[in-house]
Amino acid sequence: MKMKKIIVAAFALVAIAFAPETFAQKNPMVGGAAMYPTKNIVENAVNSKDHTTLVAAVKAAGLVETLASEGPFTVFAPTNAAFDKLPAGTVGTLVKPENKATLTKILTYHVISGKYSASDVMAAIKKGKGTATFTTVSGGKLMASVDAGKVKLTDENGGTAYVTIADVNQKNGVIHVIDSVVTPK
């Protein structure tokens, strides 16, 4: 009986080793839409019903071409609900042409040059003995740590956001969906 269990376990391991695509996690659905690793960040984001505010803000800031470029980029993408947490009227004010520089600074604070998977972020947190500090495209610092088993981002003002969906792979990087907007100083 014991030998039979060992043989079954061995066959299971061999099956996993020779069929990695069968067991590999596919890109998650985001906002009810499939995210394709063959598309860029903008091409995927426009299909997510949870990121319509982010897409509108990216367009207002003139960042579409940048986020559609080769990259690679890591984007911490706030959902519509994350933007809804901001004080009333904030988004409407930020998307006005006269506030383009401020909007651009906030949006690029959500972007890191390079592709950092969830395991890369976790490795950086471990290396930093519990906290990793990333320099964003805006030049600000964004700290990552683990809280209750989730990656927590802390901005320069002490605000926090949690990663709710990690490793949404893109042709030009990766998106990690977050539940709050983080802001630079």
CB 161 within 8 A of CB 78: yes
Closest-CA residue to 123 (of 151, 84, 158): 151
What pLDDT does 84 receive?
94
How far is 156 from 39, CA to CA, in rounded Å?
32
Q: pLDDT per residue over 105-127, tens digit each?
A: 999 999 999 999 999 999 999 99
Q: Where are the domains of the chain?
A: 27-178
- Top-level class of domain 27-178: mainly beta
Tell me how crowded residue 91 is: count the other CB atoms within 10 A of its CB.
18
Which stretches of 20-116 are assigned E, i.e. beta strand? 29-30, 33-34, 73-78, 111-113
DSSP state letter for 60: H
Three-state DSSP state, 62: coil
Map tokens 């803000």 to a residue. 57
pTM: 0.81
Q: pLDDT per residue over 122-159, tens digit each?
A: 999 999 999 999 999 999 999 999 999 999 999 999 99
